[in-house]
Amino acid sequence: MTRPKVLITRRWPASVEERLKRRYDVTLNEDDHPYSPAELKLALQNYDAVCPTVCDSLPAEVLNVSNKRCKILGNFGVGYNHIDIDAARQQGLIITNTPGVLTESTADIAMTLLLMSARRGAEGDRLVRSGLWTGWCPTQMMSSDVTGATLGLIGFGRIAQAMARKAHHGFGMKILYVKPTAADPAIAADLNAVRCASLEELLPQCDYVSLHCPGGLETRHLINENRLNLMKPTAHLINTARGDVVDSKALIDALRHHRIAGAGLDVYENEPHLDPDFSTLDNVSLLPHLGSATIATRTAMGEKVLANLAAFFDGGDLPDRVV
């Protein structure tokens, strides 16, 4: 029997790729290059399933390609704002994602960035590497306390709640959050978390603000000049959500003029082509989208895609269907 043809747009952990090879006629991206729109269109025309990642832009122009063979996009990741959902629905394309398995690793990176920004970790690393460090002195690289400080969470889903647990139970931080609906009372009680009615209420109270909302048109530039101006001059902004949630130009200006103390970023507008002005600032910590980048997590994400593909080709219920 002919095996379904499956395309993987980027390299996955080897153990997952081997499982794919055993079941499907699979094509791997051997040199791991980002696919162009033309390559993605060709993939949709020639494969039964295409498995994209966040770096694959799939707007209506790509999804509406003629003579499409593909019936399912098995997205490697939780977020899917890189896919035009309306166009996919109109085309009858099924979309799945990989929720649940990357919660702790992404929350760990958010806490890493918070600590790096608060304690000037990246700046200190650069100083030591430069050979200009002359030794300890009482006033060198003074920084901000984390223990007992106030953390504001924009969004309060699984990743935000995991970060809140680490921050509250590990560092004694006070937790505020903003979300359209109130959190489960048991979760809020465990974290002593207080819901704010709006960003305008939350931002002025926080020492650290961490973003955990989806990307897309509704949240594009949610953090803009006006909202950055509501933050304390001693506050830090952390983003492990999506780059377009923050107006990069406004953030750079706020950091440059010390209207906020610092920022820690794992995601960017137009990544990997982030605004070059970020690299001129000492008070921003920059990571290359490492949120889920542990061996165990990325393997689990691949296994989620495998489960969704198996359910689709076997005619069963898809465990993580988005569309």
**Residues 259-271: tens digit of each pLDDT:** 999 999 999 999 9
When pLDDT is averaged across residues 71-98 and rounded to a whole number, the result is: 96
Catalytic residue among 11, 289, 303, 321: 289
For residue range 217-274, list pLDDT tens digits in order.
999 999 999 999 999 999 999 999 999 999 999 999 999 999 999 999 999 999 999 9
- The amino acid sitting at 154 is I
Indicate if 242 belongs to the active site.
Answer: yes
Q: What is the architecture of the domain spanning 5-100+294-314?
A: 3-Layer(aba) Sandwich (3.40)
> Is residue 35 very low, low, confident or very high in pLDDT (cuts 50, 70, 90)?
very high
Average pLDDT, the chain: 97
pLDDT in tens, 92-151: 999 999 999 999 999 999 999 999 999 999 999 999 999 999 999 999 999 999 999 999
Question: Which of the residues 17, 201, 271, 303 is marked catalytic?
Answer: 271
Q: Which residues contact 149 (CB under 8 A, 6 or more apart)?
A: 171, 173, 174, 207, 208
Share of the chain above pLDDT 70, in %: 100
Please determine, for residue 170, whether its predicted confidence score (pLDDT) is greater than 80: yes
Whole-number Cα distances in Å, 19 to 26, 87, 94, 183: 10, 31, 22, 39
pTM above 0.75, yes or no: yes
CATH code linked to domain 103-286: 3.40.50.720
In this prediction, residues 179-198 reach a mean pLDDT of 98
pLDDT exceeds cutoff 80 at 15: yes
Are 305 and 317 contacting, i.e. CB atoms less than 8 angstroms apart?
no
pLDDT in tens, 58-77: 999 999 999 999 999 999 99
Indicate the SS3 state at residue 104. Answer: helix
**Is 123 tagged catalytic?**
no
Mean pLDDT value of segment 305-322: 98
CB atoms within 10 A of CB 273: 8
Whether the predicted pLDDT of 179 surpasses 90: yes
Among 82, 120, 212, 242, the active-site one is 242
User: Which regions of the chain carry the CATH code 3.40.50.720?
Assistant: 5-100+294-314, 103-286
Question: Catalytic residue at 271?
Answer: yes
Spatial strand order in the sheet of 94-96: 25-27, 5-8, 49-51, 72-74, 94-96
pLDDT of residue 1: 72
Q: Are strands 49-51 and 5-8 parallel, antiparallel or unpaired?
A: parallel
